[in-house]
Structure 1
Amino acid sequence: MSQPTALYDLPGPRTRRRHRLYGVVSTAVIVALAGWVLHLLFDTHQFTATKWAPFTYQGIQELLLRGLGNTLRAFGYAAALSLALGAVLAAGRLSDHRAVRLPATVLVEFFRAMPVLVMIFFIFVALKVQALPALVAGLTLYNGSVLAEVFRAGVNSVEPGQREAAYALGMRKTQVMTYVLAPQAVRAMLPTIISQLVVALKDTSLGYLITYEEFLHAGKLIASNLDYDLPFIPVVMVISPIYIGMCMLLSWFANWMARRQRRNPRTEAVGVAPADPGTLLPRGQ
């Protein structure tokens, strides 16, 4: 008889056999789908030398690298400005003064509801701004308003007693926010912040619609080249893993930061292990 755990009974022999069957069937289905996709790619001649020849030329490689650099440049500007704008709007929404809180709320709700592509086009066409500033401004307004709600929710998620204890010690509101609420809220906010930055990274691809020479724009130029038999699928197969890799790198960074946040710097610094519940510590510890 299987031994029960704290949450559920361990699966018996029949259940384990059923799970193995599910695993085998799922694997077979995935392999079959992958084989079918490969068959379609070979059948439509997507792996011919002509379609892959552009990537062997130095000029094409430099075009892709330049586009990738422009993508990272736009993302860097948009990420930094979005975080700053989100912090300012969140502070406005958390203000006790209605004259500050109401305009901040209107701005957040307006820019969150506005499609980012519409904002980019409006700034580029109506305001006659250059491609890079228009792209960065559109991404900043949208992602900054979303991050404002993330910051506000993170601060409000901190236990009310923490705020009350800080005020009881005579701290001002700015000090309470800086030294008490924000450090604790970062742990809850970090995964969502990184997720929103991933969205900003992917949305930089909208720059090709306003002729900004980012990564997708470079791929579009290659894919539309008649001299190479319109290598659309090869371009997708080259560009997509790079976008996925950058997003995975951001996710890894989020996990790394979360692990650092879970550590106890004070305990590690003095080399004292945490005491068990109910243990009396010596005087002075």
Structure 2
Amino acid sequence: MSSTATQVLFDAPGPKGRRRILLLSVLSVVAILALLAGALWQFRSNGQLDPGKWIVYLRVDYLAFLGQGLWGTLKVTALAAVVAFPLGLLLALARLSRFRVLSTLAAVWIEFYRGIPMLLVVYAFLLALPAFGVTFPRFWMLVIPMILVSSATTAEVFRAGINAVDRGQHEAAAAIGLSRRDAMASVILPQAVRLVLPSLILALVTLLKDSTLGYVVSYNELQFQGKTLVSITRYLVQTYLVVSVIYIVINFLLTRIALALDARMKARAAAG
């Protein structure tokens, strides 16, 4: 099977497309470097690079404070992923079902939560539901919206992966006497999951970034802890740069894992 995880959701660009992407990438890098240079010049001119404004972030109590926020971020992200990804798979299977009612209900769920910003869902749990006497702890006011929105987006990832499995696999499963359900469970789904695994890791990156909406419900995730630290140190630029670096490092590691998995799958496909 020649399909790869990259091809599940996107068509591979041709020679002109690759040249255009390369040119845009180079221009983007140059523009970003110019912006960074300008920002550093402004920071230096305004005294924002003064070592005294940065050394405070090496204090044990400040590091522990940010560490609590990082733990809160990782906790909500992990729990949301553990629930949302299997739910997304079930929604994908439901949408592909031959039962029209089940397929329609799954499609409505997916399209609704794909089309609505997660911030509105968070506000629904924070403001709308309490008006009807339905309340949740702050932790769940963040986690449940993350699950609802992520389940819809990952459902489409799983559906694309299932559709990307070669049709011959379905026919081979039927030829050996497997029912449609058994073929899906034993033959199609394992291949589909392998195809979309890098995309799921990138979805985990999205969940990690979505966790920053915890500030709306005053949940102690990393972004909220950074906001509190600004009120303590009065160093807005420095605090948010430190917080941003933490997010960038985590997202970089997750992205590298996704790329490594994609490369491994391509190597297996080429060897096969």
> TM-score, with normalisation over the residues of structure 1?
0.77
Equivalences, count: 243
- Do the aligned partners of residues 72 and 155 (structure 1) sit closer, same or farther apart at CA in structure 2, a change above 3 Å counting? same
Counterpart-to-counterpart distance in 2, 1:211 and 1:28: 38
In the alignment, which residue of structure 2 is the partner of 1:96? 98
Query: What pairs up with 1:67-216 in 2 under 5 angstroms?
Result: 67-125=69-127, 126=129, 127-216=134-223
For residues 40-87 of structure 1, the C-alpha deviation after alignment (integer angstroms, 9 at most, x for no partner) is 101111123553353233221111000000000010001111101101
- Do the aligned partners of residues 264 and 32 (structure 1) sit closer, same or farther apart at CA in structure 2, a change above 3 Å counting? closer
- Do the aligned partners of residues 102 and 231 (structure 1) sit closer, same or farther apart at CA in structure 2, a change above 3 Å counting? same
Match of 1:251 among 217, 234, 255: 255
For residues 129-151 of structure 1, the C-alpha deviation after alignment (integer angstroms, 9 at most, x for no partner) is 11111111101100111110111
Helix, strand or coil at the partner of 2:54: helix
CA RMSD of aligned residues (A): 2.7
- Do the aligned partners of residues 26 and 246 (structure 1) sit closer, same or farther apart at CA in structure 2, a change above 3 Å counting? closer
For residues 68-110 of structure 1, the C-alpha deviation after alignment (integer angstroms, 9 at most, x for no partner) is 0000001000111110110111111111111221111111111
Give percent identity, aligned residues only: 34
Counterpart-to-counterpart distance in 1, 2:34 and 2:79: 43
Counterpart-to-counterpart distance in 2, 1:215 and 1:252: 22
Q: Is the 8 A contact 1:187 1:258 kept in 2?
A: no
C-alpha deviation, 1:30, in angstroms: 6.9
Counterpart-to-counterpart distance in 2, 1:27 and 1:208: 31
Q: Residue 207 of structure 1 aligns to which amino acid in structure 2?
A: G
C-alpha deviation, 1:122, in angstroms: 1.3
| Unmatched tracts of structure 1, length 5 or more | 1-6, 9-22, 266-272, 275-285
Counterpart-to-counterpart distance in 1, 2:43 and 2:173: 63
Query: What pairs up with 1:6-17 in 2 under 5 angstroms?
Result: none
Helix, strand or coil at the partner of 1:47: coil
- Do the aligned partners of residues 60 and 188 (structure 1) sit closer, same or farther apart at CA in structure 2, a change above 3 Å counting? same
Q: Is the 8 A contact 2:119 2:213 kept in 1?
A: yes
| Unmatched tracts of structure 2, length 5 or more | 1-13, 16-25
C-alpha deviation, 1:261, in angstroms: 3.4
